[in-house]
């Protein structure tokens, strides 16, 4: 296993690739979503996610990051498009996938924040702090939306077709 700066570079390289994959998914879902709530969620959070990607890429450059990452990012973007096509049947499934990717990024940012504090690496700490806060905010909103989508599907209400939405608390019976 790598140690020192080699380890730090590899972890930043991994974060760049992972976060770029999430960013590309949000960009695709903003355009492809049938549910306007999902479109709006993506639109609200894309500026923050683009900023995180910029911060990670700048830090990667300062560290002398890997040139392989650019080709991996291209491959990751293709995988995201393939996954988006495969999950086209449902905004619900796309959003669940986005939440998983965001959680992974949030964990990395938390690690960067805390490790930056312990090592006295202010840049790593700030990247981690900003990224963790924004991913936490995204997760809260995304989880609320996915919960509403879940309830709407269980109740047979389609949030896209313009049918009147029932409250998330209506007709729920935990004994079913």
Spell out the domain ranges in the chain: 4-155
Q: Which contiguous run of DSSP H or E holds residue 112? A: helix 91-119
Q: What is the largest CA-CA distance in the chain?
A: 57
pLDDT of 157: 74
At residue 122's C-alpha, the angle toward residues 117 and 128, to 5°, is 70
Query: Which portions of the chain are predicted below pLDDT 50?
Result: 87, 162-176
pLDDT of 1: 80
pLDDT of 2: 85
pLDDT of 75: 58
Does residue 130 come out as left (phi exceeding 0), alpha (psi in the -120 to 50 range) or beta? alpha
pLDDT of 165: 47
User: 96-134 pLDDT, tens per residue?
Assistant: 999 999 999 999 999 999 999 999 999 999 999 999 999
| Long-range contact set of residues 56-64: C-beta below 8 Å, sequence gap at least 24 | 56/12, 56/15, 56/16, 56/19, 56/127, 56/131, 57/16, 59/12, 59/123, 59/124, 59/127, 60/9, 60/12, 60/13, 60/16, 62/123, 63/5, 63/8, 63/9, 63/12, 64/9
Please tell me the CATH code under which domain 4-155 is placed: 1.20.1260.10
- The DSSP secondary-structure symbol of 146 reads H
- Three-class DSSP category at 116: helix
pTM of the shown model: 0.79
Supply 92's token pair. Answer: 């619900």
């Amino acid at each position: 296993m790598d140690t020192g700066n080699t380890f730090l570079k590899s972890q930043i390289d991994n974060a760049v690739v992972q976060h770029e994959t999430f960013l590309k998914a949000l960009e695709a879902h903003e355009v492809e979503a049938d549910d306007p709530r999902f479109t709006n969620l993506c639109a609200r959070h894309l500026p923050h996610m683009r900023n995180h990607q910029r911060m990670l890429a700048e830090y990667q450059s300062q560290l002398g990051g890997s040139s392989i990452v650019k080709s991996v990012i291209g491959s990751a973007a293709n995988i995201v498009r393939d996954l988006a096509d495969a999950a086209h049947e449902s905004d619900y499934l796309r959003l669940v996938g986005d939440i998983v990717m965001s959680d992974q990024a949030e964990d990395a940012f938390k690690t960067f924040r805390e490790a930056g504090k312990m090592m006295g690496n202010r840049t790593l700490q700030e990247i981690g702090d900003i990224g963790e806060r924004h991913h936490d905010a995204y997760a809260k909103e995304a989880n609320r939306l996915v919960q509403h989508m879940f309830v709407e599907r269980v109740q047979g209400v389609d949030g896209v077709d313009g049918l009147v939405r029932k409250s998330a608390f209506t007709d729920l019976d935990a004994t079913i």
